[in-house]
Each structure stands twice: as C-alpha cells, then as structure tokens.
Structure 1
Amino acid sequence: DSFSDYGSHDKPETTLGRTVPDRNVLLPDVFHNDNLLFYERFRAYQDYILGDCKASEVKEFIAEYLEKVLEPSGWQAIWCTDLFEALVEVVGVNCSALKAVVRLSEPFLCKSQDSNFTLECMQELLELKEHQILLQKLWVVYDESGEFDQTALAIEHVRFFYQCIWRTWDEEEEDEFDYFVRCVEPRLRLHYDVLEHRVPSGLVADYQNLLSQCEELYEKFLNVRNSIPSNDSDSEAGNVSMVEGLKLYDQVEHLKQKLKVIENPLLRYVFGYEKYGNLQAKGRRPTGAKVTHVVPWIMTASLLQLLERDKLYPEFCGDLEIQFHGDPLAAVNACYEGDRVIICPGHYVVDGVFCIADSIELEGYGLPDDVVIEKKGKGDNFFDCSGANIKISNLKLVQHDAVEGILNVHHGKTTLENCVLQCETTGITVRTSAELLMKNSDLYGAKGAGVEIYPGSACTLLYNGIHHCKEGVLVKNFLDEDYGAPKITMVNNMIHNNEGYGVVLVRPAMPSEMEDASAQKNKGIFLFLEETPKTRNTQPPQAGDEAACAEGSRQAQPGCVTDELELCKRAETSEQTESNSEIANLLRAASAKQCQTHKKRLSQLELTETDDNLMSQEMFVSVEGNQFKWNGKGNFGIFLF
C-alpha cells in the first residue's frame, strides 16, 4: 500500500499533538494538526492526493485518497460552525461527496453562544442535512492509540485544500497542465511565504482584496451565464445578458491574472505593486524652533567637547535647543520639520521601524563603521521615508527580518550619502513619485535587488558600490498600470559580484516579440532575459591562474610586461565604456518601446485625450563611468512580459 508510510496507522501510539478546549467547556480534546510544515503538505498533495490530476479530476482524486485512508466509522469528531460546536459520532463516510454520516453523541455535548441549540434543535438540523456533514467541518477527537492519525491528517488536508488552495473557478480552467504544478504549488508556497513573513503586508492585503473581488465577480458571471436561455440565444434579453457576461468574464480573467502574478515568486519579484503609505508629517514645531537631537552611546566630557567643536558650535546661537536621547529611534520619533539628529559612535540595536515623514537630517558622527544601527524584530521595512527632503549620512545600517527592504522611499526626496547598508532582503526601493540620491555608499547582501526603481520615480546613483545581491539594480514595471518612465542617473558606480545581472529592466513585449513567443507555443506571460554580447560577464581569474599568467608573461616577453599591462588596462577601460554606453542605449530603446506600447493600448481604447507629458516622456538615462564586473549572468538583462 503506497499510503502505509504516511501517517501512523501501524504505530502503537499517536505522533500528533492535541488541542485542549477552554476549561469551561466539556468538549473533548481534538487532534492538533493545523500547523503542518510546507514540505509535509507539499508531499501529501503531490504524492498521495492529487498527483498529476487535471483540474476537472480534483474531486475524484481526493475521493480516491479518502477511501484509502479514512476509517469508515467508529470515531468521534467536533462539528464546528460559526454558531456552535457539537460532539458527533461518525457512523459512515461518503467519500465521493466529501461528507461523513454522523449522529449526535450520547450524552449530548454542545457549545454555543445561543441557548437555542438544544438537543431537539440539533437533531432537527441533522435531519435536514440527512445526517451528512462536510468533512472539513469536522475536527477528529484526540485518541492516544494512533488508530485515527491518518483520518485526522486526511481531513486536515481536505480542509486546508478547500480553505487555502481551491478556487471556485479552477474547475473551468484548461486541463493542459496538471493542477498541482499550475495551481497547488504556487498557492501553497505563497501561503507559507506569508506565514513566515516573506511577503510585504501591503502585498498580502492586495492579494486578499483581489481574491474577494474575483470571487464576487465570478459569482455574478455564473448567475448571468445561467440566466441565458439555451434555446433563445437570439432574443434581445439573451443578447444583453451575453454582452454583460462577456464583460464580467474579461474582468474575472484580468483579476485572475493579477492573482497569478502574486502567487508566482518570480513575477512577484519583478513586478511592482502600489503601496499607500499612511505616514503623517508633523510639520514645524508649534514654537517654530528647530532642535538638534544627540544620541550618545556613552557621553563623556571629551565627546561633548568634540561635538561642540565639530557639530554644535558652527551653528551655535543663543536659542539653539539640544535634546539627548538613549537610542536613534526615539530621537527620530521626537523630530519635527527641519530638525537634525546626530548619532555618536556606537552599536545601536533597535526594535522598530524608522518612519520619517518630515524633512530632517540624520547623520552619524564619525565613519559609517563606527556608527552602526542594527534592526531586530520583524517588520516590513527598516526605514520608511516620505518627507520632502530627508538626508541620511555617515551611518551603517544592518537589517534583520525586514520583509520588504532596508529603506523604502515612498514620496519626496531622500539623500543617502557615505553610508553602508548590510541587507538581508531587498535593499532600497524607490517608489512611484519618489526620488533617491545615493552617493558614496556601499550596499550588499540583498536577497532581492540592491536597488528597486519603480515607474514614475527618479533615482540618481553616484560613486556607489552595489554587490553580492541577487541583482544590482532592478527597474520594475506594473503589469497593467501606466506611469511615466523613471529618470535614472548612474555615474561611476561599481556593480559587481551579484548573483544575476548588474542591471535588469522589466518592460512589456512588443507585438513582434509576442509573435515569436506564439510561434514557440509559449502561453500566458512571456518571460526571458536577454544579454548583449558586449555586456557579457567575464569571470575573475583564480589566484593560481593569475600568478601563472603573470609568470608566463615574464618568461615570454620580459621587456614588455609594463606595455602588456597597460594594454590590458586600456582594453578593460574600453570595454567598461562600451558597457555603459550600450546599457544606456538599451534602457532608452526599452523606454521608447514602452511608450509605443502605451500609445497603442490607448488608441485601441479610443482614448484621444491623453497627458502629453506622460506620452512624450521617455526614460531619462545617464549611464557613465560605471564598472560592471563578475555579475553571475551578465551586466544587463531584459525581462519581457
């Protein structure tokens, strides 16, 4: 039996946990199995329940699985609804209907907030249901013997599937691909990514809203479709219903496409999403004064003298107000418009998010490695910036457990100068209508892109190092929203040792590219990354190879070593210049293609009045003097959709 190794049917005692009800309730304990790990559910659905079934075969495969593992009778369960919980005895199972045949336990045990659920009332309710209850409404009563472990697990898998995986429209999907690969795996991964705080809360909220909208529209679509008479399709009422049904169908398909983007980790990574910050600026202090906030790790007389000489005395005046704080987060939270925060050397560990909505200056007193702010605790971001003019300098930021990134610029302009950013997820995100100026800084370690640039934003990168990230710079796009192209300036940056590409651009595919995809029988979203010959990556030589090459050069042409090194240096400089020029040209060309696609979409919608600035605007690009080295897939890639 292929199911003998799953569960504990042959074991002398249970391996599952138990859930104890409230002390005031007489209901028995139930199996606690709703905290299964990802791989446990993955293995169950792939190997035992669904296999390679099609969407139309899902219910049949689940029924076959239940017939093999469910105990046919002789076990108890708690029947749970929003109104009551009652103890029942299972006397049979109807696997094809995913139901159990039950009767009320003796003695009768029921928990409810309404005293109307008496024994007579519950018996009448069961008779109306013909004593058959959906399996996902039953929680198996705990049993130490292990005899009902597989039954409890099987019901949990069915319950989880219909709560978190199955969609009402799945059965009407095409059966070209197996259901597990197309739907179950991405939705299961998304569920656990959300549980483990790997998806931003804003995106989770978007997904739930889209799912609710899609379910509501799909129900309307079914009602309209069912109202169309099959034998009178040429009538006026039938034609009106058909037109309405087609509109609803298009809306449902559009929402389903958005849901699939969020469910797919790669698409979730490359596409942007709207995030509406709720940060409220305080404005100026009621007294009109500006305050300098000082955060000392340990305040000494000598440190105070140095602060007065370097930071306080040059701006000293009779009414200068200085406030001292124990940690940087408290200092930032106390700021009003125009305030300044000076952080003295030290290693500060904060549990929280820096929400900066006013124009303030935040600077470290010393070198970045001497002024370290480290995040602990979970949260979407480390720094959220929406002030009109924020300046952050001379700091080292160390990120832990942030879901979305180390710094998120929502609105206004943020200047980052002479900073070190040690990331764990995404590095910096520059959202639509926001502006970032990053200068003389070092960013590394991001599991996503070092810098994410949204449409309609402005990003200037000068003399920075961006390395050891998944991608160096990712120019994002929206799946179906139209915004102006971003303004990008990249000058004299060192982008190296990233896992993927140095720079990645996400843009819509042109019709000719889509035709090529159709010729290759690619359906749905068309994706590929292209790399130009001049931007291809060259791997760094190994230490031994480098020494051998140098030694060989000395032996072969001892008098020409200097000339040869000079030629290599010139060749490398020429190659980097060509890479910068080509990346700039490709970005401009991609921006022009995006504008053409946008114009064509508007013309198809018969929209004649458009924003001339938006329509004429192409991506402003200045790419000069950057060095791209040892990026895993190359210097530049394009992601088409």
Structure 2
Amino acid sequence: MAGGELADGWLRSEAMAPGPERRGRAAEEEPAPVEKAFFQDEDSCSDCSNQDKPGTRLQSFVPEGTTHFPEVFQTSHLLFYERFRAYQDYILADCKASEVREFTAEFLEKVLESSGWRAVWHTNVFEVLVEVIDVDYAALKAVVSLADPYLCDSPVSTFTLECMQELLELKEHRLPLQELWVVFDDSGVFDQTALAIEHVRFFYQNIWRSWDEEEEDEYDYFVRCVEPRLRLHYDILENRVPSGLIVDYRNLLSQCEESYRKFLNLRSSLSNCSSDSEQENISMVEGLKLYSEIEQLKQKLKLIENPLLRYVFGYQKNSNIQAKGVRPNGQKVTHVVASTMMTGLLWSLLRDRLCQEPSKEEIEIQFHGDPLSAINACYEGDTVIVCPGHYVVHGTFSIADSIELEGYGLPDDIVIEKRGKGDTFVDCTGTDIKISSIKFVQHDAVEGILIIHHGKTTLENCVLQCETTGVTVRTSAELLMKNSDLYGAKGAGIEIYPGSKCTLSDNGIHHCKEGILIKDFLDEHYDIPKISMVNNVIHNNEGYGVVLVKPTIFSDLQENVQDETEENNALKIQTSEEASAAERVELDELIQCATGKMELYARSDLSEQVEDNCEIVNELVAASTQKGQMKKKRLSELGITQADDNLMSQEMFVSIVGNQFKWNGKGSFGTFLF
C-alpha cells in the first residue's frame, strides 16, 4: 500500500470532519478528536497493519443516472480547514507556481494506490466504470481499462462497449485523475486515494488559473493565490459575499480566460510568421492590447479574492428596482403600519398626523400589519407611518419612489429587524426619500444596512444597528444624515463613493471597524465627492475615525511635491483662523455626549479636536488638488494648452467642523494605500 508517516497523519486529519453517520466499522466507533489526530505520534501509526485500522471514515453516495453503478466515495463536502491544511502542509507547501505540478506529483506518489482500485470516469457526456491498472504521477493521469461487467450511463445511446474501447485507445488508456471518482471500499485501504484525487480535482476546478504559471514567482504560490481563492470559495458557499459580487467575479473570470486563450493563439501564430512582416506587426499590436486587457482583468480578480481589498473597494451594484411613479388617479396615500391597532393609538394618530389640518382635502389611508408590505404598496409621494412595535421582516426594502417613511414615536420604540439570509436591508433609488424616527436592526447580512444607489435619501433621528457595513453612498447618490446613531458595522460605518454627496450633521458613529471610509477618487474617470461633516461624534471604532483610500503611486507623488499650491496655503490660513476663533469659545458651551454624560472640555482637548478636523480637510483637499494637476497634465499632453480652470478643476466641497474623534483604535484619520 502506498503511503507513509506523512500520508497517514494527513488522512486521519482529513477523515475526521464532522458529518452524518459513517459507514462500515467506523460507524460503530467514536472518532478520535481532531487534535489527537493532528498531534498523534507518527511512528506509532505508521507501524499499524491494515487489520488494526478501524475501516473507512469517509461516506459514500450512488451516482445519479439510470445505470446502477457501485457506490463511490463522497469527498466533495470537505471543510475549509481540511483543504487548507492539505494544500499548505502536504501538497503545495512553499512551492512556486511553476513547481505546482511537480509538488502535486510527489504528493500523489506518497498517498495514491498505483493499481487495484476501480473508479467511475465522469464527463459531461457519459459515466463509465473503469479499473485502474497504473498511475502516471508526473502527468496526473491514471492508466485504466474498462471494468467487467461493462457499465455506462449516457443520454446518448451510441456509447457501446466497442465505441468506449476505441475512445480509450485514442487516449492511450490514460485519463486525468480529476475525472475519476473512486469506488467505495469500507476497509479504509483506498481512503487516501479518494481524498488525494478529490484535492487534485478541487484544485484544478476552483484554484488553478491557466495563466498562473506565467506570473512572476515573487513568493510562494500558496500565500499568493491558493489561500485567497480558497477563502473566497468558502465565503461564497457560506453566503458571506454579495450575490452581485459573485456574478461580477465569475464574469471577470470568464472574460480573463477568453482573453488569455486568444492571447495564446495569437502568440502561437506569431511564432509561425516571417519576421518583419506586416501581419506580424499587426499581431504584435493586438497582442499588446490583449496583454494589457488580461492584466487589468487579473487585477480586478485579485481585488475580489483578497478579503480586505474586497471590503475596501466593494463593487458597483446595479439596482434593477423600477419606480412606479404617480398613481393613475393622481392620489397620494398614507400607509399606517401597526401590528395591533388600539383605539387610543388610532385617536393619537388622527390628532397628531392624519387630521392636523381640517380644511385640508381628504386623504386615503391604508392599514398594514408589517412595514415591508406598506413600502411595496407605495407610489410616488406616499407616506408610511410606522406605529410603535417590533417588526421582523425577511425581505429587502426596495424604495424606488420618492416617499416618506417615518416612525410615530421614539426610534427605540419602533424597531424593524431583518432576519434571514439576504444581500441588503434597505435599497434606495428614489429621487427624494425621507426616513425618520426608526431603529433598523440587521442580521445575517452580506451587504450594508442602507445602500443609496442614486437620488437623495434623508435619514433623521434614526438608529442603525449594523451587521456588515453601515450606510453606502454610491456614485451620483446623495445622503443627508442628521441626529442619528450608527454602530456595530464590521466594515465601515459609512462608505462614500466617488461622485457622491454626503452631509453628516450631529450623528454618532461608533463601535465599527472604521468610522467613515472615503473610496479612491483619483482615477480620471471618477468625480470628486462632496463631503460635509459638522458636529459628529466618531468614537470607539476599531480602526480610524475617517479613512481615505488612495493608490500608493499618489502617495509617492505627494511626498515629492516641494511647493504647496495657493489653495493649500489659503486653506492653512483659514483653518488656523478657525482654530484661533474656536479657542476663544467659552468652555462651558462645549459639551460632548459620547459617554451619555455632559462634560466640559479642557482647552487642550479643544485644540486637539480642531486639529483633527483640519487634518482631514488638509488631506482631502491635497488629494483633490493633486487630481486636478494630474488632469491638467493629461490635457497638456493631448495638446490642449488653454483650458478653463473652472471647468477643469473638480474641487472637493469640504466642510469639516466641530467633529469629535474619541477613542478610535488607530486615531482620527488615516489612509489606506493600495
């Protein structure tokens, strides 16, 4: 039997994953703890004979189809840590991309039975039972013959015994290992073989890319490619990646594979062309374009594969919500949401909301038991009033029309909680949406609690208890958020995209990974966001209070700039004057509510507060100025020497005054370089 100390230890750690009831003798015994299997003395286990082994610890299943195949090993449901440990410790280790095949072959030589086992050869067209008589480890192929009796399952009836024998002869009886599913054996003898083939199959189906071998081997292949791709695969399986991002990733992967195939064909044709021919010159230009396209696609794939960059850059989700517009009869409706409507509550509603102006024309009122049905029934100009209560919803609030969603009471008394798997909680695409006096609680999410795709959304006197990111303001969207409280985001409390407008006033943003994340806007295709932050309290976040994402090349350029622009000089004078003026403010007028108590600031605290605000303004305006200089340079290179500075400059509208940054893990402001 093939194997050894390394293979034996690997098998036991792989086979002990939790799962349904085991088959064979293993079903009668309690599996050893994983820790014991990992650290068990290898010498003792390598001396064990087959009779001492407890039998297989793997499960089996019967292949689907009309033909009665024997059971095969079920190995496709391995856990993340099982695959991770196998690739890192036993198969790939610290190999380079160019050494992957060699390392894999060496591993298979240690654990794979060279003959004496049967398998189902599975393709997209047919399945057939074969018997393995030898293994070509270097080629990752098995030498096989048709099993007796002949078993084949296919929707096409032409795969007779003679036809299949002819096909095998054309293939020289050599089949790729990843196309073989090992027939089940409860003795445990072929467990290592089944698991080894599963790892090879999974690797070439989900991890390996056809262009990997041509990339530079800067550091080991496992760290650079295998680990991030493996984590992404399991993040997708466990619903931790937005569905839109999954679609984007798969589309990018298909595009990159297609472009790389064209590139290989073009490179092959170039080798057959005569030198200095016109066709060769044309092909060279096409090849350079394809190469550039492939590099861009690969970079986008890496951004999604990297968990941190995936969070920082996100993706541009296109909302398919269609606005209904005004009702055909032009009528506006007030929707009242209440789990139970009592007479006292109805009287209060009539007095405070519904009948404030007796002379006003009559309005139609519709009653709903949950807020989701009320929003789905809305047209342009409608109002939704949510009465006190705890409402649990399982769908997405898709608001495409300009409506008002308001709570009747305090936010803590009107709680809307989202449960169940889903991408988003509140999706806003309406021209002018207003949400007030409601507490939103998010669970089991993979996207932010509120996403504004376009249009303006006003959030006032609300509480947002987040799960992933908080509020996302997409390009061309506008957020006005005031007197609200946001906390608990595992990403950023607020994400501000290029070309958006974000006004934050008198809010609390706390206990998030980052307080506010400003996406990179230095690309020539991006517009600069307009940001206003006044009197916000940003505290107790794990990272920075405010983070600006920008490319490393910009940071290098900025360090080399010797002369500051007039705008920056004016800004420094202005912020200095603001600091001097602020220092003259009476101390008893400066209060902070971060801890829920009123406390006086010391003069040093005031100076630090003004300094934090000025630092953010300086950095954002410097980035804006640099973007303008880069654009002028590009226009100059194109021969445009006289350009209207007012049209060219995309100055960032920045008003950052009176904000308090307290107890943030890394400080008030930082940059994320990529």
SS at 2:527 equivalent:
coil
Q: Give 1:410's aligned residue.
A: 453
Matched, 1:617 2:650: yes
Q: Give 2:367's aligned residue.
A: 324
Q: Give 1:129's aligned residue.
A: 171
Is the CA contact (8 Å cut-off) linking 1:360 and 1:391 kept in structure 2? yes
Q: In structure 1, how many angstroms separate the alpha carbons of the residues matched to 2:70 and 2:439?
A: 55
SS at 1:298 equivalent:
coil
Residues matched between the structures, number: 594
Percent of aligned pairs with the same amino acid: 70
Is the CA contact (8 Å cut-off) linking 1:496 and 1:631 kept in structure 2? yes
Is the CA contact (8 Å cut-off) linking 2:60 and 2:72 kept in structure 1? yes
What is the 5 A alignment of 1:347-426? Answer: 347-426=390-469
Shift of 1:176: 2.2
SS at 1:124 equivalent:
helix
Higher mean displacement: 279-288 or 493-502: 279-288
SS at 1:276 equivalent:
coil
Q: Give 1:6's aligned residue.
A: 10
Structure 1 residues 139 and 476: alpha-carbon distance in aligned structure 2, compared to 1, 3 A threshold: same
Q: Give 1:313's aligned residue.
A: 355
Shift of 1:23: 7.5
Shift of 1:596: 2.8
Q: In structure 2, how many angstroms separate the alpha carbons of the residues matched to 1:507 and 1:286?
A: 48
Q: Give 1:223's aligned residue.
A: 265
Q: In structure 2, how many angstroms separate the alpha carbons of the residues matched to 1:478 and 1:140?
A: 53
Q: Give 2:519's aligned residue.
A: 476
Q: In structure 2, how many angstroms separate the alpha carbons of the residues matched to 1:155 and 1:482?
A: 47
Q: Give 2:528's aligned residue.
A: 485
2:214 maps to amino acid: E
TM-score (norm 1): 0.88
Measured against aligned partners, the alpha-carbon deviations of 1:242-278 in whole angstroms (never above 9, x if no partner) come to 2221221111112111111111122222224222111
Is the CA contact (8 Å cut-off) linking 1:296 and 1:326 kept in structure 2? yes
Detail structure 1 runs of 4+ shifted over 6 Å in the superposition.
514-517, 605-614
SS at 1:632 equivalent:
coil
Q: Give 2:603's aligned residue.
A: 570
Higher mean displacement: 375-384 or 106-115: 106-115
2:60 maps to amino acid: R
What is the 5 A alignment of 1:186-225? Answer: 186-225=228-267
Is the CA contact (8 Å cut-off) linking 1:272 and 1:454 kept in structure 2? no
Q: In structure 2, how many angstroms separate the alpha carbons of the residues matched to 1:482 and 1:381?
A: 27
Structure 1 residues 44 and 611: alpha-carbon distance in aligned structure 2, compared to 1, 3 A threshold: farther
Q: Give 2:660's aligned residue.
A: 627
SS at 2:605 equivalent:
helix
SS at 1:260 equivalent:
helix
Q: In structure 2, how many angstroms separate the alpha carbons of the residues matched to 1:46 and 1:247?
A: 36
Shift of 1:597: 3.3
1:592 maps to amino acid: T
Shift of 1:514: 6.3
Q: Give 2:569's aligned residue.
A: none
SS at 1:97 equivalent:
coil
Q: Give 1:261's aligned residue.
A: 303
| Structure 2: stretches of 5+ with no match in the other structure | 16-49, 561-575, 577-598
Matched, 1:595 2:628: yes
2:284 maps to amino acid: M
Is the CA contact (8 Å cut-off) linking 1:507 and 1:594 kept in structure 2? no
2:659 maps to amino acid: N
Q: In structure 2, how many angstroms separate the alpha carbons of the residues matched to 1:192 and 1:388?
A: 38
Matched, 1:438 2:471: no
Choose which of 32, 53, 61 in structure 1 pairs with 2:95: 53
| Structure 1: stretches of 5+ with no match in the other structure | 518-533, 535-564
TM-score (norm 2): 0.84
Q: Give 1:547's aligned residue.
A: none
Measured against aligned partners, the alpha-carbon deviations of 1:502-546 in whole angstroms (never above 9, x if no partner) come to 0001123456716989xxxxxxxxxxxxxxxx9xxxxxxxxxxxx
Choose which of 487, 510, 525 in structure 2 pairs with 1:467: 510
Q: In structure 2, how many angstroms separate the alpha carbons of the residues matched to 1:353 and 1:394?
A: 19
Is the CA contact (8 Å cut-off) linking 2:242 and 2:423 kept in structure 1? yes
Q: In structure 1, how many angstroms separate the alpha carbons of the residues matched to 2:259 and 2:646?
A: 35
SS at 1:43 equivalent:
helix
Choose which of 28, 38, 41 in structure 1 pairs with 2:83: 41
What is the 5 A alignment of 1:519-558? Answer: none
Structure 1 residues 192 and 606: alpha-carbon distance in aligned structure 2, compared to 1, 3 A threshold: farther
Shift of 1:204: 1.5
Superposed CA RMSD in Å reads: 2.3
Q: Give 1:181's aligned residue.
A: 223
Shift of 1:297: 2.0
Structure 1 residues 87 and 383: alpha-carbon distance in aligned structure 2, compared to 1, 3 A threshold: same
Q: In structure 2, how many angstroms separate the alpha carbons of the residues matched to 1:417 and 1:14?
A: 61
1:288 maps to amino acid: G
1:183 maps to amino acid: C
Shift of 1:79: 1.0
Choose which of 125, 138, 141 in structure 2 pairs with 1:99: 141
2:615 maps to amino acid: E
SS at 2:447 equivalent:
strand
Measured against aligned partners, the alpha-carbon deviations of 1:114-148 in whole angstroms (never above 9, x if no partner) come to 11122221111111111111111111122222211
Q: Give 1:500's aligned residue.
A: 543
2:395 maps to amino acid: G
SS at 1:446 equivalent:
coil
1:95 maps to amino acid: Y
SS at 2:164 equivalent:
helix
Shift of 1:241: 2.0
Structure 1 residues 465 and 191: alpha-carbon distance in aligned structure 2, compared to 1, 3 A threshold: same
Structure 1 residues 511 and 477: alpha-carbon distance in aligned structure 2, compared to 1, 3 A threshold: closer
